[in-house]
Amino acid sequence: MIVLSPLRKFTYPITAECINPDVFQGKEISEIAKLPVFEGNKPKTLSDLFKVEKDNLDTPTITINGDVSEVRRIGIGMKKGEIIINGNVGMHLGEKMMGEKITVNGNASQWAGCSMKKGTIEIHGNAGDYLASPYRGSTDGMKGGKIVVDGDVGADSGCYLQGGLIKIKGNNTGQFLGFHMSKGTIHVEKNASTRLGANMTGGKIIVSGTLEELMPSFTIDTVKAKVKVDETESAAGPFYVFLGDLAEKGTGKIFASKANNPQLKSYEKYL
Amino acid sequence: MSIIKSVTCPICGCLCDDIELTVEKNEVVKVRNGCAICESKFIGYKGHHRVKTPLMRKDGKLVPVSMDEAVHATAEILANANYPILYGWSSTSSEAQRVGVELTEEVGGIMDNTAVVCHGPSILGVQEVGIPTCTLGQIRHRADLIIYWGCDPWSAHPRHLERYTSFTEGRFENSEWKAFMQKLKAQAGQKKLESAARIEIGSTHPKPQTCTVPGMPQSMNKSGRKLIVVDVRKTMSAEMADYFIQVQPNKDYELMQALRVLVNDGELDVDSVAGVPVEYLKDVADALVNCEFGVIFFGMGLTQTAGKFRNIEIAIQLVRDLNSRTKFTIMPMRGHFNVTGANVVSAWQSGYPYGVDFSLGYPRYNPGETTCMDVLLREENDASLVIASDPGANFPKKAVENMIKHPLIVIDPHMNATSMLADIVFPSAFVGIEVEGTAYRMDHVPLPLKKVVEPPKGVLSDEEILTKILEEVKVIKSSSKKSTKKVEA
Amino acid sequence: MTEVIIKNGFVFDPINGVKGENMDISIKNGKIVQKVTHNAKVIDATGLTVMPGGVDIHTHIAGGEVNTGRMIRPEDHVKDTVSKTAMTRSGTGYSIPSTFVTGYRYSQMGYTTVMNPSMAPLEAKHTHEELNDIPLVDKATYPLVGDWWFVLEYLRKGDLEECARHVAWMMDITKGYAIKIVNPGGLESWGFGRNVHSIDDQVPNFCITPREIMVGLAKVNEMLNLPHSIHLHTNNLGLPGNYSTTLETMKALEKVPYNGKPVAHITHLQFSSFGGDGWGNFKSAAEEISSYINAHNHLTFDMGQIIFTDTTTMTADGPFEFTLYQLSGHKWVNSDVETETSGGIIPFQYKKNNAVNATQWSIGLELALLIKDPWKMMMTTDHPNAGPFFSYPRILAWLTSKNARMATLKNCNKKAQKKSLLPSIDREITLYELAIMTRAAQAKALGLKHKGHLGVGADADVAIFNINPETTDIARKYKTARKAFKNAAYTIKDGQIVVKDGEVVGHADGRTMWLNVKTAEPCRIDEEMKSKFHQYWTVDYDNYPVSDHYVKVKDPITIKASV
C-alpha cells in the first residue's frame, strides 16, 4: 500500500488524477513520485506536494493522511483497489468509479461519486453538493454501486440516479435530492429538504425522518408497513407512499415516515 | 453641433438602438428616445469619478504612473500568478472580450463574467433542458400573452414594453397602450375615491395592503395582448398587468411544476400551491394553453431565489410542454448591455460561456468549481483583474476581502468601489460613447456601438489596454521559458 | 516573393483533367504558377497524393445557432479538449468545436475552404465575428433568404426584378455568398408553431407556396448571376416518405431556365430521401432519387452522410427540430429570428442498432454510389447534423472501399442490413472521383474560380496525403487510407505550409469571401422602405448592415447582375 501525506497546506486547487490505484498499480515508488499533478496552473509532480511512501502491505490501496480538501479528481474511473482518506477530500472524488472502495474519514467536497458505475464510497463526515450527480448538461447519473454518508449531503445530490443505492444518515439533505432519478434507491435516515424527487420518473426515495415539504406534483398511492432498501436491509414504516413526479408522468415513489410527518395526514382523504 | 441617430444605448440588455444624441463641443447635450437611465448615462458619464491616468498603489496610496509602468506591473503579476481571476467583461465590447479570452488563456487563469451573479443560473438551466426562444421582434409581431416572472421591467428595462412587448405595434398584434391608458385613468379615479373615503373617516394612515390573491380578472378575456406579472410583491410592472399573481417567496418552482401538471391535463392533490389557489392555477393553465403565442420573460426573482438554476430549468420545461399545445417562448432579461456578449464570445472561443478555467492549458468549466465567486470564497486565487464591472460593490464581503488580500488590477472609466481597493488602476474609455464596438442584446442579436465623442486625452479603450497587457505577458513568458532552458542546459 | 515547388507527387486535379499524373506543382506569392526558380523551397512529394485543398460546401461552423449549440453542450466539450501550444490556441470539441479548433481540424485534414451554410441576416455580424476566429481556412457564409418577408412579399406580387434588387442588396450588406433556402414557407409558418407539408401549401398570412418561393428565388439567382445556385434544404426534411416531396421539388425546378449551370443545389440529400410512410416501415428511397438525378442535369447535391456517434443537430428548420425533440425528449433549443427565419438545436445519437439510423447511414452511401456522375454529388455530413466534420476520413473509406462499408454494415441493426442496397453495390469511388467529390465539384458548384484546382492562377491551396496510388490499393487498405486522410502530410494555404504530418505548424487568418452584387439600378432604399424596415425589425436600418469592421481579411467578389 502507498501512503501519501501532504507536505503543506494547499491553497491553490490541486488536480491529481494520478492518485488512483489503477495508475499506481505496477509502478515503483520512484515512478509514482514523479507522476504529474497540477497546483493551480503550475505543473508539478506528486512528490512536490506529498510525502510518498510504501509500506510492506502488498495491496492496491492508497492511504492519504492529512487534509486534502483542495485535491481534486482522486480515484477517477478507478476499477480496482481501495483509497482511504484520513482527512477532508476535494471535489470529484471517485467520479465515474467502476469498482472497489473509497473511504473518507472526514468530509468530501462536491461531485463525489459523480456518475459512478460500480463500487462503494463511504463518507464518514458530510458530503458536498452534487453527490453522485452528473456533469453539467449530462443525464449520465449514477448507474450502480453504493454510497453511504454518515453526515449531511448538499443540494442537487443523486440527480439522474439510474441504479445503485445512496444512504444518508445525517440530519439534513440539500434541496432536489433525487432530481430526475429513474431507478435506484435513496434512503434518508433522518430529514429531507424541499423539492425531494422533483421530476423523478422511477426508483424510490425513503425518508425515515421528516420530509420538509412534498412537491405538489406528487399524489398519494398507499400506506406501507415497511420498504426494502436493498438486499440486506429494510426500513421500518409505516410509510405514506407517494407517486410522481406527475409533471413527468413519472412512476417514482417517495416513502415518507407516517409517524414523523403528521403534516402529510391531509393526503389520507385521497386514499 | 451635430445630431447622431440610431445610436445604441450601452446600459441594459434592451440595447435600444434608436437613440438620438445631440453633441456639442465633444459633449452630449441632449438625448431623445432614451429612458431615464439612458439619458443619465449619456449626459452624466463624465462625472468627477472619472479616472484620467493610470494609478498604482505606493505606500498605501494610489498615485499616478505611466501607462508603461502600469502595464508592466500588471503583466508581471498575471504572468507569474498561480491561479489568477479575470472578471467582469459585461460592460465592454466583444472586441475587448476576445482579447480577454486570449489573455486569460495565456496566463492560465479563470475568465468569468457578471453572469455569475446574475443570469448564470439561466445558462445552467439552458444547459440542462435547452430553451425555446426567439428574437424580440417575434414577440413584437406575434405575442398575445406576455408574462414577466420574477422581474420588473418598469424599473430595470424601462423601454422593454414599448419596444418589444405589450405597447408596441406588430404585424399580427397591436399595441395595448390605449387600453392601458384607459385603465390608468380608471384606476386614478378609483384611488381618488378611496383617498376621499379615508379622509372622511378621519384616518391619516392608509389601510395596509393585505396579501390577497385574486382570481383571474375579466380583462384576461379581451382580444389583443394580455399581460401577466408573477412576483412576490406588487411591483410597478405588476400595476400595469392584466393579471398579477403573487407567489410566495422561494416557491416559484412549486408553482411552475404545478402548472406543468395542469397544462398536461393532470390533477393535483393539493388546494393551493405557493399561496395561489389551484382553481386559479387552472385558469392560468387555460390561458397559457389557449394563447396564439406566449412568452415568459424572467429575471432575478427566479435566478437568485431558492432553486436558482432549477427555477429556470422548470420554467423552460413548462414552456417546452406548452409547445405541444401552442407556440410559446421564454427569454432571460439580461441586465448589463453586453453580458450576453461576454457569454457569446467566451463560448465561441473556448466552448464555455463563463467560469472558464484555463489553468490546465485547455478550457474547463464547472460553476461551483471554476466560477470566481466560489474561488474567492475558498481563497484559491492569488491575483485578480477586474474590468467593466464592480464586484467590490456587489460581491459578498468575504469574497471581496479575499480578493484584496492579493494583487488587484482594475480597468474602468470610473473610480468605483473596486478601483478604490485596487493596486493598479487603468482608466478606460466608455464603450458605446467614447469608443465603438459590438454588443449582444438579450436575445443574442449583435448591434454596433457608436463612438459619439472623444475620450479624455490619454485614455485608451479596454481593447487597447488589454492588448498592451497581453503583449507584455507574452514577452515575460517567452523570456522565462528561455531562461528556464538556460538553467536546464 | 515566396516560391515553393511540390515535386514529383501524384497529382489529382479534376477541373484540369489531371488524373494522378506524376508532376510538379509550382507556387509563387500564394498562387499556382507555371514554373519557379531554383531558389524555391522544395517539398518532396514522391510517392504521395497531391490534391487541391479541400472545399466544404456545407458545414455549420459559425454564428448564433452554432454558438448556442456550443453553449448548451458542456458535456460534449468535456470529452474532447484541446490544449494550447506555442502555435495554436486552446479549445474544445466534440460535435461543435470552438472556432480555433474548427480551423485547425479542417486544416489537419487538408481542407482550405469552408462554407458556413446558414446565417440569419439579423445576426450576420455574429457569424462574421466567429469566421474571423476560424484560422487556416478561407470561408464564406450563406444568408437565409427563403422566408425573408421582403422576398415573400415581392414574389407574391410577381415582382422578380425588385426582389432581385433586394436580394442583391441583402447579400452585400450581410456579406453573404449565396441564397440559402430552408424548408421554404415552413420557417415563417413556424413563427406561429405551424409548418408546410407540401410544396403547394399556402404559407399562412403570406399567400405564397414553397414552390413559388423556390422557383422565384432560382430565377432571381439567375438574374443576379450569382456564382453558386440557390442552396436548398427541402420541405418535409427528415420525415418518412419525404422522397416524394424531394422529387416534386426537383421537378418544379425544371421550370427554371437552364443554361448549362445548375439552377439549384439540394443539400444533405440523405435527409430528403426517405421512403416508407412511418418509422415502422422506414426505408431508403435512394434508388428513386438517384434514378431521377442520373437522368437530369439541372441540379447538384451533397450527401449529409450519417456517422454513428453522439452529435448535435442544428438547422434553420425549426419545425423539424421540434419533431426531433418530440421523438427523443433531449434538450431542445428553438431560435426563431424575426422577419427572417426559424431555427432549432437538439443533441442526437445515431446508433448502429437502431433500424432507422442504420438505414439512414446506408441511404447516404447508396446515393453517392448510385449517382453516376461524381460532379453532381459532393461529400458532406451537414456538420454537425449527421456527424462531426472530422469524421470525413471514415466516409472517404466507405466510398472507396466496399470492404469498409460491409465491415460497418455487418454491425448494424439486422432489419436495416436486410433492407440496405449496399451489399449489391460493388462500385468503389476512385481517388480521382474522390478529388471531385471533396474539392473540384464543390469549387465548381460554388463558382469559386481560384479554388478546387491546381491550374495556373489558382490559389496555392494544396493538400498532400500519405497515399501512394501506385502501391496502395485504397479499396483494400481502407484503414491506411482513412489514416492518411485524417492527418495530411502537408496542408498548404496560399503557398505557406500550415500543417505537416497532421500538426499545425503555421498560421494564416484565412479570407472571408462575399458578393458585391452590382445591379443596374440599386435597391430602392427610401424613407418608405426605411420605415417599413423599422416596422419589420427591432433594429434600426442603419445598424443592420455588416460593416467592413466585421471582416478581418476581406475578399469581396464583384458580380455584375443582369438586372
Q: Partners of A223 in the beta sheet?
A: A240
Half-sphere exposure of C331 (CA within 13 A, CB side): 27
Does residue B439 contact residue B15 with C-beta atoms inside 8 Å? Answer: yes
Contact predicate C83/C107, CB 8 Å = no
Tell me which residue has cell 424596415: C533
What's the burial of A155, exposed, middle or buried (CB within 10 Å: 0-12/13-18/19+)?
buried
pLDDT score of B213: 61
Q: How far is CA B237 from CA A177, B156, C319, C391, in A?
A: 35, 10, 34, 52
Q: How many Cβ atoms sit within 10 Å of the Cβ of residue C29? A: 11
Mean pLDDT of B157-177: 95
Do the Cβ atoms of B302 and B149 come closer than 8 Å?
yes
- Which of the four pLDDT bands, split at 50, 70 and 90, describes residue B211? very low
pLDDT above 70 as % of chain B: 96
Alpha helices by DSSP H, chain A: 21-24, 29-33, 46-49
Q: What percent of chain B has pLDDT over 90?
A: 87
The β-bridge relationship of strands B424-427 and C31-33 is: unpaired
Best of C72, C75, C92 to mutate (most A CBs within 10 Å, chain A): C75
Q: What is the pLDDT of residues A238-266, one digit of tens each?
A: 999 999 999 999 999 999 999 999 999 99
Q: Would you list the DSSP string of A66-84?
A: S-BTTEE-TTTT--SSEEE
Beta-carbon separation of B359 and A218 below 8 A: no
How do residues B183-205 score in pLDDT, each as one tens digit?
888 888 888 888 887 766 555 55
In the predicted model, is pLDDT for residue B47 greater than 80? no
Q: Give me the pLDDT at residue C533, please.
A: 86
Which stretch of B471-485, C91-105, C234-248, C354-368 has the lowest confidence by average pLDDT? B471-485
User: Which residues lie below 8 Å from residue A31, measured CB to CB, with a gap of 6+?
Assistant: none
Q: What is the pLDDT of residues C454-479, one digit of tens each?
A: 999 999 999 999 999 999 999 999 99
ipTM above 0.85, yes or no: yes
Report the pLDDT averaged over residues C513-536.
87
Query: Is the model's pLDDT at B209 over the cut of 70?
Result: no
Report the alpha-carbon distance of residue C433 to residue C373 in Å, rounded: 9
**Does domain B49-118+337-488 bear CATH number 3.40.50.740?**
yes
C82/B362 CB distance under 8 A: yes
Nearest alpha-carbon partner for B9 in B458, B367, B428, B431: B431
Nearest to A216 among B264, B268, B307 (CB): B268
> Chain-wide mean pLDDT for chain A?
96
Instruction: Give every CB contact of residue A207 below 8 A, 6+ residues apart in sequence.
Output: A188, A191, A192, A196, A254, A255, A256, A257, A260, A261
Out of B82, B269, B359, the one facing A267 most closely (by C-beta) is B269
Mean pLDDT of C176-197: 97
Q: What is the mean pLDDT of residues C158-164?
A: 94
Q: Per residue in C435-461, pLDDT tens?
A: 999 999 999 999 999 999 999 999 999
Provide the pLDDT for residue B212: 52
**What residue in B sits closest to A139 (Cα-Cα)?**
B128
pLDDT digits (tens, 9 = 90+) for B350-369: 999 999 999 999 999 999 99
Say if B49-118+337-488 and B120-188+223-332 have the same CATH topology: no
Cα B251 from Cα B270, distance rounded (Å): 15
Query: Which 3 state secondary structure label does DSSP give C154?
Result: helix
CA distance A70 to A89: 7
* pLDDT given at position B200: 62
Could you give the count of Cα atoms lying within 13 Å of A10 in the half-sphere of its Cβ? Answer: 26
CATH of domain B120-188+223-332: 3.40.228.10
Q: Residue B210: pLDDT above 50? A: no
Asked whether the predicted pLDDT for residue C66 surpasses 50, the reply is yes
- Per-residue pLDDT tens for C90-136? 999 999 999 999 999 999 999 999 999 999 999 999 999 999 999 99
Residue ranges of chain C whose CB lies within 8 Å of a chain A CB: 72-76, 78, 331
Q: pLDDT confidence of B48, banded at 50, 70, 90?
A: confident
pLDDT bucket at C529, cuts 50 / 70 / 90: confident
In the predicted model, is pLDDT for residue B489 greater than 50? no
The verdict on a CB contact (< 8 Å) between B358 and A41 is yes
Q: Cell 434512503 sits at which residue?
A: A187
Of B261, B268, B310, the CB nearest to A176: B310
Q: How far is CA C472 from CA A230, C392, C436, in A?
A: 60, 20, 20
Q: What is the DSSP letter of A267?
A: G
pLDDT of residue B201: 57
Phi-psi label, residue B140: left if phi above 0, alpha if psi -120 to 50, beta otherwise: alpha
Rounded to 5°, angle at Cα C58 from C53 and C60: 110
Per-residue pLDDT of B267-292, as tens digits, reads 999 999 999 999 999 999 999 999 99
**B52-76 burial, b if ≥16 CB within 10 A, otherwise e?**
ebbbbbeeeebeebebeebbbbbbe
Q: What pLDDT was estimated at residue B456? A: 94
The answer to whether B348 contacts C78, with C-beta atoms less than 8 Å apart, is no
Q: Is A195 helix (H, G, I), strand (E, B) or coil?
A: coil
> Smallest CA–CA separation between A138 and chain B, in Å?
7
The chain C residue lying nearest B18, using CA atoms, is C540
Across the range B342-357, mean pLDDT stands at: 98
Shortest Cα distance, chain C CAs vs residue A118, angstroms: 21
Asked if A121 and A148 count as a contact pair (C-beta separation under 8 A), the reply is: yes
Spans of all domains in chain B = 49-118+337-488, 120-188+223-332
Long-range residue pairs from B250-255, CB within 8 A, at least 24 positions apart, any chain: B250/B305, B250/B306, B250/B307, B251/B275, B252/B149, B252/B150, B252/B301, B252/B302, B252/B305, B252/B307, B252/B311, B252/B315, B253/A195, B253/A198, B253/B306, B253/B307, B253/B310, B253/B311, B253/B314, B254/A195, B254/A215, B254/A216, B255/B230, B255/B281
Q: Tell me the average pLDDT of chain B.
A: 93
DSSP output for A197-232: TTT--SSEEEESS-BS---TT-EEEEEEEEEEEETT
Q: Which one, of A87, A78, A77, lies nearest residue A4 by Cα?
A: A87
Give per-residue pLDDT as tens, A52-70.
998 877 777 999 999 999 9
Distance (Å, whole) CA C546 – CA C125 = 6
Angle between helices C160-173 and C149-157 (to 10 degrees): 160
Question: 16-45 in B: which are within 8 Å (CB) of C?
Answer: 17-18
Residue of A nearest to C70 (CA): A137
The answer to whether B19 touches B447, Cβ cutoff 8 Å, is no
Picking from B123, B128, B261, B480 by the largest number of A CB atoms within 10 A of its own CB, the best residue to mutate is: B261
User: CB distance C333–B343 less than 8 Å?
Assistant: no
- C117 Cβ neighbours under 8 A, 6+ residues apart: C57, C58, C59, C60, C141, C142, C180, C231, C267
CA-to-CA distance for A270 and B268, rounded, in angstroms? 11
Kindly state the DSSP code that residue A89 receives in the 8-state scheme.
Answer: B
User: How confident is the model at residue B192, as a pLDDT?
Assistant: 86
Instruction: Identify the pLDDT of residue A94.
Output: 97
List, in sequence order, every residue forming a beta bridge with B327; answer none if it has no partner.
Answer: B293
Q: How far apart are CA B1 and CA B6, in angstroms?
A: 17
Q: pLDDT for C387-424, tens place per residue?
A: 999 999 999 999 999 999 999 999 999 999 999 999 99
**In the structure, what pLDDT confidence band is assigned to residue B218 with cuts at 50, 70 and 90?**
confident
What pLDDT score does C522 carry? Answer: 81
**Does residue A235 have a pLDDT over 70?**
yes
Q: Looking at the predicted structure, is the pLDDT value of residue B208 above 60? A: no
Distance CA B400, CA A51 (A): 35
> Which residues lie below 8 Å from residue A59, measured CB to CB, with a gap of 6+?
A1, A81, A82
The rounded distance, in Å, linking the Cα atoms of B166 and B44 is 30
Q: What is the pLDDT of residue C523?
A: 79
User: Chain C contact for A164, CB < 8 A?
Assistant: no
Q: Is C125 on the interface with B (CB under 8 A)?
A: yes
Residue B129 Cα, gap to closest chain C Cα (Å): 4
